[in-house]
Amino acid sequence: MAAVRVRHAYDGGPAVLDDVSLEIAEGRATALLGRNGCGKTTLLRVLTGGLRPAGGEVRLDGRPVAYGRRGLTALRTAVQLVLQDPDDQLFSASVAQDVSFGPLNLGLPEAEVRARVAGALAALDIAGLRDRPTHQLSYGQRKRVAIAGAVAMRPRVLVLDEPTAGLDPAGVESLLVTLGGLRGAGTTVVMATHDVDLAYRWADDAAIFDGPLLRTGPARELLADDDLLTRARLRPSWACTAGRLLRAHGLLPDGPFPATPEELRAAVPSPGG
Amino acid sequence: MAAVRVRHAYDGGPAVLDDVSLEIAEGRATALLGRNGCGKTTLLRVLTGGLRPAGGEVRLDGRPVAYGRRGLTALRTAVQLVLQDPDDQLFSASVAQDVSFGPLNLGLPEAEVRARVAGALAALDIAGLRDRPTHQLSYGQRKRVAIAGAVAMRPRVLVLDEPTAGLDPAGVESLLVTLGGLRGAGTTVVMATHDVDLAYRWADDAAIFDGPLLRTGPARELLADDDLLTRARLRPSWACTAGRLLRAHGLLPDGPFPATPEELRAAVPSPGG
Amino acid sequence: MHIAEGFLPPIHAAAWTVAAAPFVVHGARALTRQVREKPEGLLLLGAAGAFSFVLSALKIPSVTGSSSHPTGTGLGAILFRPPVMAVLGTITLVFQALLLAHGGLTTLGANAFSMAVAGPWAGYAVYLLARRLGGSLGTGAFLGAFAADLSTYCVTSVQLALAHPDPRTGFAGALAEYGAVFAVTQVWLAIAEGLLTLLVVRLLAQS
Amino acid sequence: MLAIDAAAYRSPWRHRHPGDKAVLAFGLLGAAVALPPWPGAVIVGAVALGLLLGPARVPARQVWRSGRAPLGFAITGVLPLLVSVGGPGGFVTATPGGPRDAALVLARTVAAGLALLLFAFTTPLAEALPRLTRLGVPAPVVEVASLTYRMVFTLLDTAGQIRRAQAGRLGYASRRAALRSLAGIAGALFTQAFARAQRLQHGLTGRGYAGSLPVLADGARIDGRFVSLSAALVAAVVAVTLAVGA
């Protein structure tokens, strides 16, 4: 799917998106980066049909999305957005009820709804929470329930806004494992984040808001461009900085830089060896 | 100030804090680390008088805190807590009114209250926001207003729970500058965080929840202990991992490791040089 | 359905203010007592007030295809009891007048009487009656909200008919006319609000 | 989020004492309601509109957007004045003098509505509310109202987010689904509002919260000149109305 030359402004305000294009390649992991207020969230809402752009178009399978009821239903069946704050997304008494909301609205038969709920809970590794009231769960658990609600729609593209915000390091790790599972099952995943090292580690493709311009390309190239990152008011990544220094001194073989401290330790020989 | 052998459990639940001690050295920056649910937030509430521990005691200037009205007022004049979500702390639609709440509760005369409000807004670099309603502010701006509300109490110790959560990299940088200013003015600052690299960069002392035990010590030592970090379900830091490798190969002089990618780049000579 | 600013003649505006005042003052005393008893009272009531306002700002689909807003008076009365609702409802009406230009200050008394007094009391009474007669929580909530809605509109129709009686058929004629104008949309709206309240109360009871 | 509220914080009269604006706007409001609608309502309406568009610098489009809903009510509300149902003349008949009565009520409503908007568009509620205690409103009521005002915006924001999230999961694809979605919003708002209240209590305890929320209102003073000019303007409106009407 793709956003093509999209423009948008809220209610007479300044343009939030100005001529922005983004192509999301099927089956790949795309990271969207930019400082707060750059238009990231607006772009995600445009892509997922939550907002009709003032100009340009959103394309699904090469065809522009029609903003009638049928067109939007088609888009929403294909693409699902998970918001940063799970409390903006959970509104039912129990976990199972919340996850069943989307499938019920699709008009599926009850058996199919049940199967989808069970499948989504299993995919998010929260089958044990199914009968718990949502507001008694921890933040990380609520986040998983919110994702399960989107996954139960069986979207081809899953879009996550800052999914790691508020999680502790162990929570981030297990979320990445879960997303890996979804990708293995064929889902295209898009993630908005501030964390350059996380994006370097996780993404195939990257898109970075450089002021109003959206730069796109392979993650390992784009995220190694410190000038671009600085202009975008992001930080240079540890992975590229450390990797580059070690490689310059002949301590790291060619290829992508190790993406975590653990990988780095494993890749660099100790001085005796 | 210090927490000595503190124990706490919520309403018949399991112990959240079990025999935990923490000494906060005056004038130093202390980072408190641990996974979600380890008791970090509970410890912060105990330290700041929001929660009376079931066992053990909190000491201020060597004397145990009395939980009567006068004792608590003395503690709150000395120690202030800023919560992670600013909306849990901002009750007024007006920035200036919200910041005036604490000083008014201290029974200060109006002129002094106005002076403190102005001082706190200036210290947080948000004097320009004073006439904006809270609901028109961005998340980062609301966070600053919440901190200003605590700073207006002129505490000797300022305690912040996950102050960088939800901020973008530029927001984190400017918050660190602001905290530096407060420390320069003599405030002791304590910060709870998940981010080991941030703690390594910022803190003098560290305290890490290793299961129910709280390990304390100089930040540069404690945060370089990868075994401890792994047991605490945190990640090893980039700064220590990269720094150690480079030092092992003779590329980095002795001393603390460079704490940011920029510092690392500046510290390691290029191969030609 | 808020009576717009200036729609009532001054005598009527004053009279309805006098009629609503004892309920609101009584509610304010109850509220002050609640706040003094426990410090969390103030924050909970602020949350309740905000909840009432935002509830009345939700758009609910109506039969005609246009949309309308729930009054929230039935739900509010069941959750917070009518005396406190008299104050919270009046605060909501002041905010609606000043933030949304719905209703007004000279018509505040009349609107408070219908939406913060009559509606909540009628809704609460019907809810209690239904529960006493063995009705389920859901049935009670549905009937209570339905009654609150309907009584609000009946009182509003009476207020309008008193203010603008028909020169030939008098108050009764005007009441029939206002009743007819509002009944078409409001009966369905009352049913929709009853259903909504039923769902909300069930949801809250489960969690 | 709420257009009138946002405009009030941008108003050139924003830093005036709320009392200044109350004398002017509520003076005109009283005149609109109390004076005979002809010519009183027309004069008050013109003056209030002139003040809104002129010194208060509210764009005409915003006045129209905020005024059209109450105008809709007023037009529906005067329809029964035009006809009689039943009675001696037949089932539905035109009321004699109906159009004139309807026009007068409509004029009074418009004039009074504009006077109300004059206050609403120039006075941030955050500054007006704490001063209500001076008018005898009990402090707890004022504090509940102030908290309500603050929390309305966080809850509206949440309501909007949940609504969009529901739409993304096809929650408004049918009327049945829409009703279920709305109940979900109301339920979530209820639990969140009270959870928030509890967390606010934790957040405020450290700053000395013990059941009341004292705040310092901004330092604006009543401007004697503005108040006397306002009173003179209202008096002039009354005088002209009575003179023309006589």
3-state secondary structure of C191: helix
Q: Which CATH number is B44's domain given?
A: 3.40.50.300
Is residue B187 within 8 A of residue B173, CB to CB? The reply is no
From the CB of residue D11, how many other CB atoms can be counted at a distance below 10 Å? Answer: 17
Q: What whole-number percentage of chain A has pLDDT above 90?
A: 90
Mean pLDDT computed over A123-139: 93
CA distances from B72 to A16, B9, B47, D209 (A): 48, 21, 11, 12
- Which sign, positive or negative, has the C-alpha torsion D133, D136, D141, D145? negative
What phi and psi values does residue D86 have, to the nearest 5 degrees?
75, -155
User: Does the CB of D211 have a partner CB in chain B at under 8 Å?
Assistant: no
Nearest chain A Cα to D191, which residue?
A135
Distance from CA of B82 to the nearest CA of A (A): 16
**Looking at the domain assignment, is residue A227 inside a domain?**
no
Q: Which two tokens stand for residue D214?
A: 């004292």
How many A×C Cβ pairs under 8 Å?
Answer: 11
What is d(CA B204, CA B29) in angstroms, rounded to the nearest whole number?
Answer: 5
Distance from CA of C202 to the nearest CA of A (A): 9
Rg (CA), chain C: 17
Omega before D39 cis (within 30°)? yes
Beta bridge partners of A2: A23, A59
What is d(CA A220, CA A225) in angstroms, rounded to the nearest whole number?
Answer: 9
3-state secondary structure of A218: strand
What is d(CA B159, CA B151) in angstroms, rounded to the nearest whole number?
Answer: 10
What is d(CA A50, CA A62) in angstroms, rounded to the nearest whole number?
Answer: 19
In DSSP notation, chain B reads -EEEEEEEESTTS-EEEEEEEEE--TT-EEEEE--TTSSHHHHHHHHTTSS--SEEEEEETTEEPP-SHHHHHHHHHHEEEE-SSGGGT---SBHHHHHHHHHHHTT--HHHHHHHHHHHHHHTT-GGGTTSBGGGS-HHHHHHHHHHHHHTT--SEEEEESTTTT--HHHHHHHHHHHHHHHHTT-EEEEEES-HHHHHHH-SEEEEEETTEEEEEEHHHHTT-HHHHHHTT-PPPHHHHHHHHHHHTT-S-SSSPP-SHHHHHHHSPPTT-
What is d(CA B33, CA B162) in angstroms, rounded to the nearest whole number?
Answer: 10
Q: Per residue in B135-149, pLDDT tens?
A: 999 999 999 999 999
Residue for token pair 């920029």: B262
What are chain D's partners, defined as 3 or more CB pairs within 8 angstroms? A, B, C
What is d(CA B221, CA B191) in angstroms, rounded to the nearest whole number?
Answer: 18
Is residue B5 within 8 A of residue B21, CB to CB? The reply is yes
D32 interaction partners in chain C (CB closer than 8 Å): 6
Domains of chain D by residue range: 3-123+219-245, 137-206
pLDDT at C65: 47
3-state secondary structure of A62: coil
**Looking at the domain assignment, is residue A3 inside a domain?**
no
Nearest chain B Cα to D8, which residue?
B133
**Looking at the domain assignment, is residue B227 inside a domain?**
no
pLDDT at B208 over 50: yes
B228 interaction partners in chain A (CB closer than 8 Å): none
pLDDT at A272: 66
User: Does the CB of B242 have a partner CB in chain A at under 8 Å?
Assistant: yes
pLDDT at C66 over 60: no
pLDDT at A66: 93
Is residue B236 within 8 A of residue B229, CB to CB? The reply is yes
Q: In one letter, which amino acid is B192? A: A
What phi and psi values does residue B208 have, to the nearest 5 degrees?
-125, 130
pLDDT at A153: 96
Start-end of H helices in chain C: 10-37, 40-57, 73-80, 82-95, 108-111, 119-132, 137-163, 170-206
What is d(CA A120, CA A149) in angstroms, rounded to the nearest whole number?
Answer: 7
Q: Are residues B131 and D9, on separate chains, in Cβ contact within 8 Å?
A: yes
Q: Are residues A238 and B242, on separate chains, in Cβ contact within 8 Å?
A: yes
Q: Chain B residues within 8 A (CB-CB) of chain D?
A: 45, 48-50, 73, 76, 79-81, 83, 85, 87-94, 96-98, 100-102, 104-106, 110, 113-114, 117, 131-136, 149-150, 153
Out of D166, D170, D192, the one facing A73 most closely (by C-beta) is D170
CA distances from A48 to A1, A70, A180, B75 (A): 10, 14, 21, 50
What is d(CA B221, CA A1) in angstroms, rounded to the nearest whole number?
Answer: 49
Q: What whole-number percentage of chain B has pLDDT above 70?
A: 99
| Residue in D216, D218, D221 to test binding to B, most B beta-carbons within 10 Å | D216
**Per-residue burial over A10-30, b = 16 or more CB atoms within 10 Å of its CB, e = otherwise:** eeeeeebbbebebebeeeebb
What phi and psi values does residue A55 have, to the nearest 5 degrees?
-145, 165
Is residue A130 within 8 A of residue A154, CB to CB? The reply is no
What region, left, alpha or beta, does residue B240 occupy, with left being phi > 0 and alpha being psi -120 to 50 degrees?
alpha
D181 interaction partners in chain A (CB closer than 8 Å): 91
What is d(CA A249, CA A243) in angstroms, rounded to the nearest whole number?
Answer: 10
Distance from CA of D149 to the nearest CA of A (A): 20
Q: Are residues D164 and A90, on separate chains, in Cβ contact within 8 Å?
A: no
C181 interaction partners in chain D (CB closer than 8 Å): 76, 79-80
Is residue A74 within 8 A of residue A60, CB to CB? The reply is yes
Is residue C79 within 8 A of residue C48, CB to CB? The reply is yes
Distance from CA of A155 to the nearest CA of B (A): 27
Minimum mean pLDDT among A108-112, B231-235, C79-83, D8-12: which range?
Answer: C79-83
User: Does the CB of A11 have a partner CB in chain B at under 8 Å?
Assistant: no
Distance from CA of A132 to the nearest CA of C (A): 9
What is d(CA B260, CA B265) in angstroms, rounded to the nearest whole number?
Answer: 9
How many B×D Cβ pairs under 8 Å?
Answer: 108
Minimum mean pLDDT among A29-43, B231-245, D93-107: which range?
Answer: D93-107
Q: Indicate the number of domains in chain A.
A: 1
pLDDT at D90: 62
**Looking at the domain assignment, is residue B208 inside a domain?**
yes
User: Does the CB of D162 have a partner CB in chain A at under 8 Å?
Assistant: yes
What is d(CA B3, CA B11) in angstroms, rounded to the nearest whole number?
Answer: 21
Mean pLDDT computed over B241-257: 93
Q: Per residue in C23-46, pLDDT tens?
A: 999 999 999 998 888 878 899 899
Q: Per residue in B109-137, pLDDT tens?
A: 999 999 999 999 999 999 999 989 999 99
Distance from CA of D116 to the nearest CA of A (A): 25
pLDDT at C85 over 80: yes
User: Which DSSP symbol is given to D57?
Assistant: -
Is residue D111 within 8 A of residue D48, CB to CB? The reply is yes
Strand ranges of the sheet holding B2-9, from the earlier edge strand across to the other edge: B15-23, B2-9, B55-60, B63-64
A223 interaction partners in chain B (CB closer than 8 Å): none
Q: What angle do CA D96, D101, D104 make, to 5 degrees?
A: 160
Is residue A18 within 8 A of residue A61, CB to CB? The reply is no
C207 interaction partners in chain A (CB closer than 8 Å): 93-94, 133-135
Nearest chain D Cα to B160, which residue?
D203
What is d(CA C86, CA C73) in angstroms, rounded to the nearest whole number?
Answer: 10
**Looking at the domain assignment, is residue A73 inside a domain?**
yes
A174 interaction partners in chain B (CB closer than 8 Å): none
| Residue in B44, B79, B85, B87 to test binding to D, most D beta-carbons within 10 Å | B87
What is d(CA C71, CA C149) in angstroms, rounded to the nearest whole number?
Answer: 7
Q: Where are the beta strands (DSSP E) in D43-193?
A: 83-85, 92-94
What are chain A's partners, defined as 3 or more CB pairs within 8 angstroms? B, C, D
CA distances from B180 to B116, B121, D101 (A): 19, 16, 70
Q: Per residue in B169-194, pLDDT tens?
A: 999 999 999 999 999 999 999 999 99
Minimum mean pLDDT among A121-125, A245-249, B11-15: which range?
Answer: B11-15
**Looking at the domain assignment, is residue A268 inside a domain?**
no
pLDDT at D141 over 50: yes
Q: Which two tokens stand for residue C104?
A: 């007004």
Is residue C86 within 8 A of residue C111, CB to CB? The reply is no
What phi and psi values does residue A210 have, to the nearest 5 degrees?
-105, 85
Distance from CA of C12 to the nearest CA of A (A): 40
User: Does the CB of B118 have a partner CB in chain A at under 8 Å?
Assistant: no
Minimum mean pLDDT among C138-147, D6-15, D95-104: which range?
Answer: D95-104
User: Does the CB of B267 have a partner CB in chain A at under 8 Å?
Assistant: no
B270 interaction partners in chain A (CB closer than 8 Å): 248
Q: Are residues D207 and B85, on separate chains, in Cβ contact within 8 Å?
A: no
pLDDT at A258: 96
Out of D109, D140, D144, the one facing C7 most closely (by C-beta) is D109
| Interface pTM, i.e. ipTM | 0.92
pLDDT at B273: 54
Distance from CA of A85 to the nearest CA of C (A): 20
Q: Per residue in D73-83, pLDDT tens?
A: 888 888 888 87
Q: Per residue in D173-214, pLDDT tens?
A: 888 898 889 989 998 998 999 899 999 999 999 898 988 999
Q: Are residues A35 and B168, on separate chains, in Cβ contact within 8 Å?
A: yes
| Residue in C43, C96, C111 to test binding to D, most D beta-carbons within 10 Å | C43
Residue for token pair 């090292």: A197
Q: Domain range for residue B79? A: 24-51+66-219
Q: In one letter, which amino acid is C203? A: L
What is d(CA B242, CA A258) in angstroms, rounded to the nearest whole number?
Answer: 11
Q: Are residues C203 and A94, on separate chains, in Cβ contact within 8 Å?
A: no
A92 interaction partners in chain C (CB closer than 8 Å): 203
**Looking at the domain assignment, is residue A183 inside a domain?**
yes
